[in-house]
Structure 1
Amino acid sequence: MKLSRFARLACLLVAGMLLAACQHEAATPWQLTDISGHMPDLAFQLTDDQGKTVTATDYQGKVALLYFGYTHCPDVCPLTLAHLHVVMQRLGKVADGAQILFVSVDPARDTPAALHAYATAFDPHVIGLTGSPADIEALTKRYRAAFSREPGKEGGSYDVSHSSGIYIFDAHGKARLLATPTDSQDKLVHDLHLLLSPGGAT
């Protein structure tokens, strides 16, 4: 049976749409926001939660998840780290190739000892990092993050408002993805599994 000219055009249109969809899916495997080429490489010099001076090169070879927060954070920080803990558990053994870098935006209170106790309470993949106020400010500006100290409360305590993005770098220190605390664990597991696999979804 011969197809009409209209039917043939319709078939060609559907085939073209399917091909374009397949090509788009192949070109963009990520479920999180792709920031490749839009953010600088991972670079810093800070103090880790053991009191040791470290740089980004100390974590070369690992997929790094950079997150800015502080130990006195009442809500988003503990929720985000708990979220990432479940993601690490779901990744299983391949999670050994990942490192969560928790950078304090409250260096006045977050000593290395305080950061160590806080980080290890969530997951063994978390390392707390701190530094001088100038170092922290420079690093947040490098990745277009922001933070500000809120007015003090009674007893001298205070809160720090801060960005909640999770910056994900590949094993070569290249910025690849941006996640937020509202992104599902499924998305994080999917994309981290790709980055942690041989080839790193290059």
Structure 2
Amino acid sequence: MLRHITLALFALAVLGGCHQQQTWKLKNVRHLLPDLKFTMQRAGDDKTVTAADYRGKTVLLYFGYTHCPDICPTTLARLRAVLHGLGADAAKVQVLFVSVDPQRDDDATLAQYVHAFDPAFDGLRGSPAQLAALAKRYRVGYTKQGNEPDGGYTMSHSSAVFIFDRAGHARLLGDETAPVDAFDADLKQLLAG
């Protein structure tokens, strides 16, 4: 009996040693952030969509605005490069760009902006309450900066890219400084899991 228990424990130890732990290049936020949940309008068709509409795809969620002078276009260009690096697996990933400036980012403007980076990207806009709820859910800050005489202004906003698995669970967090190959390596692991 003791011999059988010893053999069983040895087998478990060997099998446990064969199981490799995932290592991530981006920040692992599993169990630290809530699941993907929202209701917003999709730019281009102004259709109401929810997080459930994106189940089955790995989602990259980014907050920004179309008049952003630097960080937003740079980040969206990098996300396009990330998808390019995934090859055929890019079809399993959805980039969602949430406007923090719904006052200026109307349906047509937002659709044109995100589709200029990649036709597969979805731009999302919502009411001030919907935007505030989604931003609060993921601890994203955004504020209007300066009222210029011509009515112009900028938006200060967080620059994180939130990555959710196919079931909508928060998994990883990247930012505008994370290398494209770090995104690609982690997304390949996530898609394979």
TM-score by length of 2: 0.88
35, 38, 46: which is aligned to 1:44? 38
- Report the RMSD for the aligned CA atoms in angstroms: 1.3
Please identify the structure whose Cα radius of gyration is greater: 1
SS of equivalent residue, structure 2 residue 186: helix
Match of 2:96 in 1: 101
SS of equivalent residue, structure 1 residue 100: strand
Match of 1:55 in 2: 50
TM-score by length of 1: 0.84
Identify unmatched segments of 5+ residues in structure 1.
1-22
> Do 1:66 and 1:166's aligned partners in 2 also have CA atoms closer than 8 Å?
yes
Structure 2 letter corresponding to 1:67: Y
> Do 1:47 and 1:130's aligned partners in 2 also have CA atoms closer than 8 Å?
yes
Instruction: Tell me how far apart the structure 1 counterparts of residues 109 and 190 of structure 2 sit (CA, whole Å).
Output: 31
Structure 2 letter corresponding to 1:161: S
The ranges of structure 1 where at least 4 consecutive aligned residues each deviate by more than 4 angstroms after the TM superposition are none
> Do 1:35 and 1:178's aligned partners in 2 also have CA atoms closer than 8 Å?
yes
1:124 offset after TM fit, Å?
2.5
1:184 offset after TM fit, Å?
0.3
SS of equivalent residue, structure 1 residue 155: coil
> Do 1:98 and 1:125's aligned partners in 2 also have CA atoms closer than 8 Å?
no
Q: When the two structures are aligned, how many residues end up with a matched partner? A: 175
Find out whether 1:68 has 2:66 as its counterpart: no
20, 26, 32: which is aligned to 1:32? 26
Structure 2 letter corresponding to 1:44: F
Instruction: Tell me how far apart the structure 2 counterparts of residues 125 and 29 of structure 1 sit (CA, whole Å).
Output: 29
Instruction: Tell me how far apart the structure 1 counterparts of residues 89 and 149 of structure 2 sit (CA, whole Å).
Output: 46
SS of equivalent residue, structure 2 residue 143: strand
Instruction: Tell me how far apart the structure 2 counterparts of residues 125 and 97 of structure 1 sit (CA, whole Å).
Output: 11
Identify unmatched segments of 5+ residues in structure 2.
1-16
1:112 offset after TM fit, Å?
1.3
Q: Percent identity over the alignment?
A: 49
Instruction: Tell me how far apart the structure 2 counterparts of residues 139 and 63 of structure 1 sit (CA, whole Å).
Output: 18
Instruction: Tell me how far apart the structure 2 counterparts of residues 143 and 153 of structure 1 sit (CA, whole Å).
Output: 30
1:180 offset after TM fit, Å?
0.5
Instruction: Tell me how far apart the structure 2 counterparts of residues 76 and 55 of structure 1 sit (CA, whole Å).
Output: 26
SS of equivalent residue, structure 1 residue 79: helix
1:30 offset after TM fit, Å?
1.0
Find out whether 1:141 has 2:125 as its counterpart: no
79, 87, 90: which is aligned to 1:84? 79
